[in-house]
Amino acid sequence: QNVAVILPAAGSGRRFGQDENKLFARLAGHPIWLVAAERLRAHRRVARIVMPISDQDRPRFEGEFGSQVDTLGIELACGGAERTDSVRAGVERVADDTAVQLIAIHDAARPLVRNADLDAVFAKADQTGAAILATPVTATVKQSLDAGASCRTVDRSTLWLAQTPQVFALDVLQRAYAKHRGRPATDDAELVGRIGVQVALVPGSPDNLKITHPNDLIVAEAILKTQHESNHA
C-alpha cells in the first residue's frame, strides 16, 4: 500500500444546475462522491484518501456523511477556488509521508472507474513517474478559425480524451505544483508537462465518465447496471 489518493470534491457543480454540489446527487441511491471513494478504497494499493472539500460543504461531510467518511478513512482537506488549489491542498497533506510512492488524483465526479484500469495506470506510473487514463477520440473533430464560417477536419488518430486518475511520483507532482503560479491548467498532467516530464497515456474505459450535466447521471446509472452484470468494476 503505497498510493495516496487525492479526491478533489470542492467544486460547486455549477453546470449540473442544482442548489447543492452535484457530488451529493444520487447514483443508485448513493452520493456520487461516495461511489467514487469506495472504488478507490477497494484497490489494494491505496493507503490514504485525502478529499479536499469546500467550507460550504464541510458540515454535510462531517455530519450527514460523517460515518461514511470515517469508515472509509477519508481525510478531509480544505479545497480552494480552482481545482488546482484543491489539489495543492491535498499534495501538501501527503508531502512528508515517506511511505507514499505514487499520488493518484481522481475526480470525485468520476464514480465508475474500474479496478483493472486503476491497476493499469498505477503500473504505468511505477515505470514512468507520470501516467493518466485516457480514451481515444471517436468523434470526427472539426477546427474552425472563423467562428464556424468554414472548418477543417483534425486528424483524430492522434487525439485522446484525458480522464482521471492522473498518477505521479510524489516528487514529480511536488515539483510541478511548486512551479505552478496560477496560469490556468485544466488538469494535473498539464502542470507536470510544463516541468518537462513526459506523461504516458494508459487506455481506459468510457465507463469512467465525469458527471458534469444531469444527463451524465442517467448514462452512469445504465453503465453501473452493465458493470454489475459483468462484474467488471
Residues that bind ligand CTP (CB under 6 A): 8-16, 23, 52, 79-83, 86, 107-109, 210, 212
Is 128 or 212 the residue whose CB approaches ligand CTP more closely?
212
Smallest separation (angstroms) from Mg ion to the CB of 97: 28
Per-position DSSP letters for the chain, written without gaps between them = --EEEE-------GGGTSSS-GGGSEETTEEHHHHHHHHHHTSTTEEEEEEEE-TTTHHHHHTTTHHHHHHTTEEEEE--SSHHHHHHHHHHHHTT-TT--EEEE--TT-TT--HHHHHHHHHHHHHHSEEEEEEE--S-EEE-SSTTSS-EEE-GGG-EEEEEEEEEEHHHHHHHHHH--S---SSHHHHHHHTT---EEEE--TTS----SHHHHHHHHHHHHHHHHHT--
Instruction: Tell the smallest beta-carbon distance from residue 18 to ligand CTP (Å).
Output: 11
| Nearer of residues 158 and 215 to ligand CTP, judged by Cβ | 215
**Which of ligand CTP, Mg ion, none does residue 15 bind to, with CB < 5 to 8 Å depending on kind?**
ligand CTP
The least CB distance from residue 107 to ligand CTP, in Å, is: 4
Q: Which does 79 bind (CB under 5 to 8 A by kind): Mg ion, ligand CTP, none?
A: ligand CTP
Tell me which residue has its CB nearest to ligand CTP. Answer: 11
Query: Which residues lie near Mg ion (CB under 5 A)?
Result: 11
